[in-house]
Structure 1
């Protein structure tokens, strides 16, 4: 749990970010949206060194890129930074971000599922097609991920590509993120003639939000700069835990919902309410 005091100069990130009815409707129709300037440049300037520092400390990769599998080449992945320090917790628990999540989903309150730093190294590989909620033992479609770059992301690197409307389909494939999921889901997208959206270059502090079932992927990083991204996953308060139907969901239940049994409310010390209307 956090054990550091938060420097007073770190921004609170509690001011409202105004959404339009058209933006909310677009998210609910397509399952994804890009929002400009969710965090201001001076705010990112304060938090980027904090988050990047913890990623460096907790990077588990001990092999060079060329020796890793597709998943390992995709990114450096560090979860629940908010447990490490009050500095990271202030970012992850930000009222501004959580309020956006609640309003896009049209719910009264949201809890944290977990956060993840996803840093794509120079030369890092692509992220295969997948659905996040394949991993989550949550009995609700009201789940959403905020994906925010902490550095400018060029057109060459790009943001994620989303498959429009696929949040309404539920399971498309039960394959975890892998070459196999990329092939299977890619064939499904092509066979169905599904439309895709890529938002291209993003500035630090811009953010995309996507639903748990929305199919998405990300390109590799051909540049010499680290693609630094921080994500926060939210779900509607009142959601119950599912009986895990896979090893991945069993693992997630134990790690991110400790002490919660299937059928019970998805509430543990790791899942605080971060916004309530």
Structure 2
């Protein structure tokens, strides 16, 4: 009962965040946007300790940074925290964030694909250039990721860097996050003359939103502090699962759409409808 009361006392994150037509148009053109204070400081202060405690408990890294590969150096990555804690569930399934995602994409409703805590350790490595959606068995451009720091992020760490309008290129290649993807996609961005954009320093509760096909990377963490970020991936309600065309997508199909087959509606128990305009 005490735990239930504690959860009910957490901020609800149900109130709408008003977006302007200009913000929606900018996102749809560029494939990324910064939303200031999608959650305020007191809301983040309520949820951050619980998210961080769970990340600490579930962290699987047992090697020092210098002994890990590029992906392992990039961050501590824990997925679907919403399944493991009622408190974190309240954060991840928040209607406010889901409504922002739906309005930016111009869709009626959104489901959760999964969440990820991405904690970049002090002196952790960079995150190579990549497209998120090479992992997802969904044939659509109606996917979006919210990337929200739970602590202030200084200019030297900064937001992710995005290649503007790269989402218009769709599926560029099947390269998973690696040194090879970084080299190849950096060359692609330069060759296409795409503008790159970082939003610099961010406050806790600020959030970037980017499309599943938007190319992005992140710098290393040269500071002595943990870069604590929570991400939530959304997709439009009503989509169907695509035939996986890679091992990464086969793996994701099994993990995030359990029991479902290509052609089925992308709507398992792991993919709750978190916002619908109706």
Q: Normalised by the size of structure 2, how large is the TM-score?
A: 0.97
**What do residues 11-51 of structure 1 show as CA deviations (whole Å, max 9, x unaligned)?**
10000000000000000000000010000100000000010
* 1:125 Cα offset (Å): 0.1
Contact in 2 for aligned 1:131/1:215 (Cα 8 Å): yes
CA distance in 1, matches of 2:184, 2:173: 7
CA distance in 1, matches of 2:246, 2:172: 15
Match of 2:264 in 1: 264
Match of 1:247 in 2: 247
Match of 1:49 in 2: 49
Q: Does 1:193 align with 2:193?
A: yes
Match of 2:174 in 1: 174
**What do residues 56-76 of structure 1 show as CA deviations (whole Å, max 9, x unaligned)?**
000010100000000000000
Match of 1:18 in 2: 18
Match of 1:38 in 2: 38
Q: Which moved more, 1:183-192 or 1:224-233?
A: 183-192
* 1:173 Cα offset (Å): 2.2
Q: Does 1:106 align with 2:87?
A: no
Q: Does 1:149 align with 2:149?
A: yes
Q: Which runs of 4+ in 1 moved over 4 A?
A: none
Gaps of 5+ in 2: none
* 1:192 Cα offset (Å): 1.5
Equivalent residue of 1:258, what SS? coil
RMSD of aligned alpha carbons? 0.8
* 1:7 Cα offset (Å): 2.1
Gaps of 5+ in 1: none
Contact in 1 for aligned 2:151/2:227 (Cα 8 Å): yes
CA distance in 2, matches of 1:139, 1:218: 26
Contact in 1 for aligned 2:174/2:246 (Cα 8 Å): no
Q: Does 1:138 align with 2:138?
A: yes
